[in-house]
Chain A
Amino acid sequence: MGSPAVLLKEGWKGEEVHSFERMENLIGKIDHIAPVETGGLNSFTPIHNAAIKNLPVIDGDGAGRAIPELEQTTFHLGGVRVEPICLADSKGNSAILYPKSAKTGEEAARAITTVYGMAAGITCYPMSGRQLKSTIVPRTLSLNERVGKALREAKASGENVVEAALKVTNGYLLTKGKIKKKTEEVRGGFDCGKVYVGDMVVDYKNENIMIWKGNKPIAMAPDSICWLGLDGKPLTNADISEEIEVAVIGKKAHERWRREEGFNLFKHIFKILGYDGEYEPIDELIERV
């Protein structure tokens, strides 16, 4: 957990293993590890953790995308409690949280992560196999691998990387062009801002939450809004800067997300972005355009 900008600057130190060990200390033997989200770092950290601990890692995760806040998972939607939450950093600091709700758990974990230098390992959502099976977004680790492979092979053979990406993700090309402008500020432990590309604007809070054309939404969380450099390099918001040429690819959220409660987990962010409306799935928005 932390600020992507800080992690980029300071580097990752395997903190998640400390937090996992704190959890083992607390609840006893853990048999499997599951990623909580999909992303360049957090798809990898559970694999690393599992390798260190000689445990299997589940092919799936709690979101099928990256999420800014801890309660924004299909685990939470399916009734799995986030606590106890174990936090640890590489300097010997740790914390165990039993929050009243997933929302206050997110706020407390982030406040403590901020004290610990904006980067901490976090282990949470302890659950049974049965709970996992009914809430997980499945097969996302193998999808990650397929997407990465498709991009690599397209680039190597001189094919169009954007086409390859759209094919393997079943995604939508939302826009293409040079990054015209990017704003960024740190608010409450999050990297927030806007990215202006082509004729569209992307709002982000760590992750991309919404993309607009004028005042019309083109796609919104929980659906995914992804950056792909035209050179085939996928980008995070920490990487994005003016002049870079990108394609913006939209991807449908997993079925488990596509209900009112799923969208509602992001509602407080939409409100700040000036969107008071209901969830409009990306496939419906695209059809209309």
Chain B
Amino acid sequence: MANRILNNEGDIRDFIRGCTVLGTGGGGSPEEGLKIIEKEFKRGKNFLLISVDELPNDAAIASPYCVGSLKSKRVISVYNRAERGFPVAECIRSFGLLEEYTHKKFFATIATEIGGGNTAIAFAVAARSEIPIIDGDLAGRSVPECQQTTFCIKNLEMTPFSIVTPYGDEIIVPRVKDDFEGEKVMRGMVTATGANVGVTSHPRVGKEVRDSVVKGSITFALKIGRALKNKNPVDSLVESGGILLFRGVATKASWKDKGGFTPGEFELRGIEEFEKEAYKVSFKNENLISWRNEKVDVTIPDLICTLTPEGKPVINPNVRKGKEYVIVGFRAPKIWRTSKGLELFGPKYLGLDSKYIPVGNRRM
């Protein structure tokens, strides 16, 4: 049934690399993600991957993750005094707290998103609890807000969910009027504590998971991560379904910390086949919209991924003026391109009246 995955440190690095690409500039810190998975690996833990189709219908599953901001205080956790910053122990405790509240033992974890930091949490919680992790996730990429999930598109509630702070406060939210409110509660706790918090949400069953997650996203992330080791990393990405959007040198890069998010933008001056052209990307944690020569190029839900020419994916706070970058696009998973998906995470989320145009279709 479940197969072992990430059997050596090379695999782990490949996986984090692939997750960071799909993190579209956000998704948490890949350095932290790497540390989190390596820590479990060094303790002798196994990572067991189970496909969505193999899940028993009534198997209880849930999604553990971290909610926070770059500006969060690095607090020593009461749950693990050796830990400061990325709340692995809080995420593990939130998972157990939700089990206690629902009187269920979860059969597997599922990642809330694919990103360098947050996907690692789902792995660590699964490894520590000695249960498998599902080959799939609730987005197929990283997303800025907690209501932006495929479960929300399918009207599968996020409640009851748990929040655990590094100070030892434990919260259960049994009901919220909608997922938007749930996101606000989580964000409110980050603001109130000034720290990152551990969350476990969407306690659901196998039957519900089947048609409401992005299937195979874990193996896809690993595949991309491996492909980037090839001699021509950008070509390998294109072979895996990517679209080369731009090559350039950063002329501007800025971001700030606002309301628990990291909004900002960066601009590139084109080089090689893009000489004399200009590119701009605007982000809120993740890359949301890009312009080529001042005309809209790609928008969410499609993926706008930033890499160095050597194939190293870059998160937005690390984009530096004067450095060279390659921008690669991927079409969003189909579920995001439904009308409900677009309402939740399409041009409308950006406040744009325009219709969604898939990446690649706009190129002239």
Contact = CB atoms under 8 A, between A and B. Distances in A.
A100 interface: yes
Contact of B171 (A22, A93, A98, A114): A98
A115 B78 contact: no
Contacts of B169: 97-100, 104-105, 108
Interface stretch (B25-33, B133-141, B176-184, B279-287): B176-184
B174 A107 contact: no
B151 to A, nearest CB: 18
B54 interface: no
B183 to A, nearest CB: 10
A112 B175 contact: no
B241 interface: no
B199 to A, nearest CB: 13
Contacts of B168: 99-100, 104
A112 B185 contact: yes
B185 A22 contact: no
B170 interface: yes
Classify the interface of chain B: helix, strand, loop or mixed: mixed
Contacts of B176: 92-94
A112 B189 contact: yes
Nearest to B162: A96
Given A108-B192, A112-B189, A94 B174 contact: yes
Contact of A112 (B167, B170, B188): B188
B181 A108 contact: no
Interface in B177-224: 177, 181, 184-185, 188-189, 191-193
A111 B192 contact: yes
A13 to B, nearest CB: 14
A111 B171 CA distance: 12
A25 to B, nearest CB: 8
Interface size class of B (residues with CB under 8 A): 20 to 34
B176 to A, nearest CB: 5
A201 to B, nearest CB: 30
B244 interface: no
Residue of A92, A95, A114 ringed by the most chain B CB atoms within 10 A: A95
Interface in A20-74: 22
Interface of B: 78, 101, 165, 167-177, 181, 184-185, 188-189, 191-193
A127 B170 CA distance: 20
A91 B185 CA distance: 14
A92 B177 contact: yes
Contact of A95 (B177, B185, B191, B193): B185
Interface string A251-275: 0000000000000000000000000
Nearest to A92: B177
B177 A107 contact: no
A124 to B, nearest CB: 13
A182 to B, nearest CB: 28
A202 to B, nearest CB: 28
A92 B229 CA distance: 50
B205 to A, nearest CB: 22
Given A100-B78, A112-B185, A95 B172 contact: yes
Contact of B173 (A91, A95, A107): A95
A131 B249 CA distance: 69
Contacts of A92: 175-177
Nearest to B167: A100
Contacts of B174: 22, 94-96
22 contacts: A91-B177, A93-B175, A93-B176, A94-B176, A95-B172, A96-B101, A96-B173, A97-B169, A98-B170, A99-B168, A100-B167, A100-B168, A104-B167, A104-B169, A104-B193, A105-B169, A107-B193, A108-B189, A111-B192, A114-B188, A115-B184, A115-B188
Nearest to B160: A96
A104 B101 CA distance: 21
B318 to A, nearest CB: 31
Contacts of B101: 96
B44 to A, nearest CB: 32
A41 to B, nearest CB: 23
Residue of A95, A104, A111, A115 ringed by the most chain B CB atoms within 10 A: A115
Nearest to A111: B192
